[in-house]
């Protein structure tokens, strides 16, 4: 797999952990913050760390960010810097700008100024925690646009021993099994065939609307 390059602007709590995680996954990471102490803290966990106030477009131009795969903007609760940075990144032609927003209005402003993706870490984490606590058979989920979700589901006992064609989940629940994680033996089955038989050691990866997935979670 080709190594990817990322820039993380802002090394507060969220930016720090994003940069560190990307670097630990063998990516090249440039961490940028105007706070010298934060840059020193992230320096061991990234490819390079730069002290720079990038609300100035001239400062941004000197960093060569046109070459990275994505820029992640995480500048704290003061929304003005993130607005200026996204505006400048858009002017520089950065293709993928992932920006952390404080609320919906902030996120909408950032999108209008060039951000291609908006994240709300607190809200996203709250949704994941609520899902885990209320639906223990859902091991992990990924929210998508327009109410769609990809969920990893521990199959209900009523699914065990039945094939996917017998379960007919698309017709009965309007969801699709897009993959199966088999634990015994351990392997990953992408787009399983209709005659795939569900075992109690399997994990189903299902795509569908949250309202339809909720019906499966209620099954025994």
Q: What is the SS3 assignment for 131-189?
A: HHHHCCCEEEEEECCCCEEEEEECCCHHHCCCEHHHHCHHHHHCCEEEEEEEECCEEEE
Is the pLDDT at 90 greater than 80, yes or no?
yes
Q: 105: how many CB neighbours lie within 10 A of its CB?
A: 10
Identify the DSSP state of 12. Answer: S
Is the pLDDT at 87 greater than 70, yes or no?
yes
- Segments making up each domain of the chain, as ranges: 5-119, 129-217
pLDDT for residue 48: 95
Higher pLDDT, 121 or 192: 192
The rounded percent of the chain whose pLDDT value lies above 90 is 45
Mean pLDDT score, 125-152: 59
Mean pLDDT score, 85-103: 91
| Integer Cα distance of 143 and 150 in angstroms | 7
pLDDT for residue 168: 93
pLDDT for residue 212: 86
Is the pLDDT at 138 greater than 60, yes or no?
no
Q: What is the mean pLDDT of the chain?
A: 85
Confidence band for 125, pLDDT divided at 50, 70 and 90: low
Q: Token digits for 185?
A: 């033996």
Identify whether the C-beta of residue 169 lies closer than 8 Å to the C-beta of residue 176. Answer: yes
Confidence band for 130, pLDDT divided at 50, 70 and 90: low
pLDDT for residue 216: 85
pLDDT for residue 187: 85
Confidence band for 207, pLDDT divided at 50, 70 and 90: confident
The topology (CATH level 3) of 5-119 is Rossmann fold (3.40.50)
| 85: nearest Cα among 55, 125, 115, 119 | 55
Is the pLDDT at 211 greater than 90, yes or no?
no
Cβ-proximal residues to 212 (8 Å cutoff; 6+ apart), any chain? 173, 174, 175
| In this structure, CATH architecture of domain 129-217 | 2-Layer Sandwich (3.30)
| Integer Cα distance of 15 and 8 in angstroms | 6
Confidence band for 120, pLDDT divided at 50, 70 and 90: confident
H-state helical runs in the chain: 13-24, 36-42, 57-61, 79-91, 104-112, 121-134, 164-167, 169-173, 210-217
Model confidence pLDDT, tens digit, residues 139-191 = 455 555 556 777 888 888 899 999 999 999 999 999 999 889 888 778 888 88
Q: How far is CA 55 from the centre of its chain?
A: 25
Question: pTM of whole model > 0.85?
Answer: no
Is the pLDDT at 134 greater than 60, yes or no?
no
């Amino acid at each position: 797999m080709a190594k990817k390059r990322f820039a993380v602007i802002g090394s507060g709590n969220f930016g720090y952990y994003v940069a560190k995680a990307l670097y630990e996954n063998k990516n090249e990471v440039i961490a940028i913050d105007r706070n010298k102490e934060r840059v020193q803290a992230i320096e061991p966990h990234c490819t390079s760390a730069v002290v720079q106030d990038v609300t100035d477009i001239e400062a941004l131009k000197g960093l060569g960010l046109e070459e990275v795969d994505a820029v992640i903007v995480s500048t704290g609760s003061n929304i003005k810097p993130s607005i200026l940075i996204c505006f400048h990144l858009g002017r520089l032609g950065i293709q993928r700008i992932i920006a952390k927003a404080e609320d919906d209005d902030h996120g909408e402003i950032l999108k209008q100024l060039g951000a291609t993706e908006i994240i709300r870490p607190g809200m996203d984490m709250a949704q994941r925690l609520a899902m885990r606590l209320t639906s223990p058979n859902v091991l992990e989920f990924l929210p998508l646009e327009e109410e769609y979700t990809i969920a990893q589901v521990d199959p209900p006992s009523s699914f065990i021993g039945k094939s996917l064609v017998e379960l007919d989940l698309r017709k009965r629940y309007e969801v699709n099994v897009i993959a199966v994680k088999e634990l015994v033996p351990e392997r990953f089955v992408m787009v399983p065939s209709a005659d795939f038989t569900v075992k109690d050691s399997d994990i189903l990866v299902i795509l569908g609307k949250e309202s339809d997935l909720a019906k499966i979670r209620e099954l025994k």
